[in-house]
Amino acid sequence: MRRFRFRLQKVLEYRALQEQWAKEAWLEARSLRFAAEMELERAIREKARAELILPANVEEMQALDLYLEKLSDDIEAHRAIVDTLLLEEERAHDEWAEARRNHEVLCRLRERAQKEWELAKGREEQKALDDWTNSRREAS
């Protein structure tokens, strides 16, 4: 009997690649979100530090107010970026989960096909042994 050959092997390999690509995309989206969150935390810390500054005169107070306003705008922009990156990360995770399910389905199909092949091989070998045994009996 021929050796086992899964007829959808190329599709299985492609699905494995798709799963790997989707996982890498999710990990990349996750790392981008982490970096954006760190930048947001940095801006929040900088604003907290700047709020502790006591201006000596009116010009310094105006400059500090402008700086605090800029930091507030930066914080809001970073929050928007983090929210967007979080949505992209969730979408990438969903795509990875779907790709993983698609790959697992083909893996189960391959396993089932291999078990069926092994059963057919066992039946064929048993039939050959039975035929050989019958031919020996008839010869005796």
More confident residue, 21 or 132: 21
pLDDT in tens, 34-72: 999 999 999 999 999 999 999 999 999 999 999 999 999
Distance CA 38, CA 46 (A): 12
pLDDT for the residue numbered 129: 87
- Please classify residue 15 by burial: count the beta carbons closer than 10 Å to its beta carbon, then call 0-12 exposed, 13-18 middle and 19+ buried: buried
pLDDT in tens, 125-139: 899 888 888 887 777
Q: Are 103 and 18 in contact (CB under 8 A)?
A: yes
